[in-house]
Amino acid sequence: MASSCTAYNVSIPADTIPTAETKIKLADKISISPLVLGTWAWGDKTVWSWNDELDAKAKEAFDMSISKGINTFDTAEVYGKGESERSIARYKKDHPNAKDIVIATKFLPYPYKLSYPSSLINALRGSLEKLQVDCVDLYQIHGPIHLRSIEVVADALAEAVKLGLTKTVGVSNYSTGEMIKMYDCLQKHGIQLASNQVEYSILRRTPETSGHIAECHKRGVAVLGYSPLAMGRLTGKYSEANPPPAGRHFSNVNMNELEPLLATMRRLAEKYNVSVSSVALNYVICKGVIPLGGARDGKQAEQNAGALGWRLKNEEITEIESHTFNTIPSFWHRFWQHG
């Protein structure tokens, strides 16, 4: 078991139990919690039906997460059309632990954005204004949809670091080849690529089975796993009779296929006295990935935090992985998700 406040590079070792005190060091510059709170839902009216009531509940999730040792929050300029970033600014204002809060945000490189570094720098300055900070901890490219070369985008990220606008830089949805190219380009500036954020869960293990995670770790690049709960499918909340709301497309597996897996997860949740969500998140941690679990209220944040303080055994991981599913990636996935 790790001692208090032990920091590991890239991921938590296989023989270590993740705790609230455990930290992971990215690019040898920032220390993040082994579980990150994803804030896509905050401010989003289209998919997540955001309103004033949910705003108050999200503040509860924010406070609960910090109380449980989760100090890291992942957002993006497009989440809620900027409202996610504004929400984080409101929630952390006057917070007693504000100095320990780590914020990661993202730049969406729409294909029509051709002027670099200005497009990226201007977007980053806009995010800093909404977040009410002078420097963000991690600035990420949201997806590999830019028309300019990776070298051009890397130069823009390097400029952001040199201007003191971000401490570290990362990417999201990059393939192994794209990640390596970005890593190499940043190395020319003496900058370490901190992370690649990809969809990873029990239902989508492609980054692992393709060797992508191993290639990232080989270069000191952490892997952040978004949608680790498969947009609610791995929480135990939904079933074939009560499917997730429309629009939750990541890890889109029919709920009737999931029941045998969920039965296994419920048994493990009972064994460890945690929620089904906790089992799903602990699994991701065990695979060397840092999960980005969403939470829209204090209860969900508390359930997420239940992933810490214990670790699935190897035979339990094998049992979870014995369940297989049929998924057909959409054009959107092929366009957006290279990793």
Cα separation, 320 vs 218, in Å, equals 26
DSSP assignments along 204-230, one per residue: B-HHHHTTHHHHHHHTT-EEEEE-TTG
Selected catalytic residue, list 79, 116, 174, 200:
79
**2 in any annotated domain:** no
CB 169 within 8 A of CB 160: yes
**37 in any annotated domain:** yes
Cα separation, 222 vs 25, in Å, equals 9
The radius of gyration of the chain's CA atoms, rounded to the nearest angstrom, is: 19
Which amino acid is residue 5, in one-letter code? C
At 2 the pLDDT is: 39
For 323, phi and psi rounded to 5 degrees? -85, 130
For residue 88, the enclosing domain spans 7-336
CB 135 within 8 A of CB 167: yes
At 43 the pLDDT is: 87
Cα separation, 143 vs 4, in Å, equals 35
At 1 the pLDDT is: 39
- List 32's β-bridge partners, or say none: 24
Q: Work out the burial of residue 315: count CB atoms within 10 Å of its CB; fewer than 13 is exposed, 13-18 middle, 19 or more buried.
A: exposed
* Token couple for 178: 């794209």
Count of domains forming the chain: 1
**26 in any annotated domain:** yes
At 41 the pLDDT is: 86
CB 84 within 8 A of CB 43: yes
CB 272 within 8 A of CB 310: yes
Give catalytic status of residue 79 as yes or no.
yes
CB 71 within 8 A of CB 32: yes
Cα separation, 72 vs 75, in Å, equals 10
CATH number at residue 63: 3.20.20.100
CB 170 within 8 A of CB 194: yes
* Token couple for 257: 């296929």
**290 in any annotated domain:** yes
* Token couple for 24: 């992971």
At 94 the pLDDT is: 82
At 328 the pLDDT is: 55
Q: Which residues contact 295 (CB under 8 A, 6 or more apart)?
A: 37, 58, 61, 64, 65, 301, 303, 304
**111 in any annotated domain:** yes
At 48 the pLDDT is: 75
Which amino acid is residue 19, in one-letter code? T
Cα separation, 160 vs 155, in Å, equals 9
Q: What is the pLDDT of residues 253-282, one digit of tens each?
A: 777 888 999 999 999 999 999 999 999 999
At 110 the pLDDT is: 93
- Would you state the torsion angle of the CA atoms of residues 209, 16, 226, 322, taken in this order, to the nearest 10 degrees? 40
95-113 burial, b at 16+ Cβ within 10 Å, e below that, comes to eeeeeebbbbbbbbbeeeb
E strands along 66-212, which residues? 72-74, 102-107, 136-141, 166-172, 193-199
State which residues of the chain have pLDDT below 50: 1-3
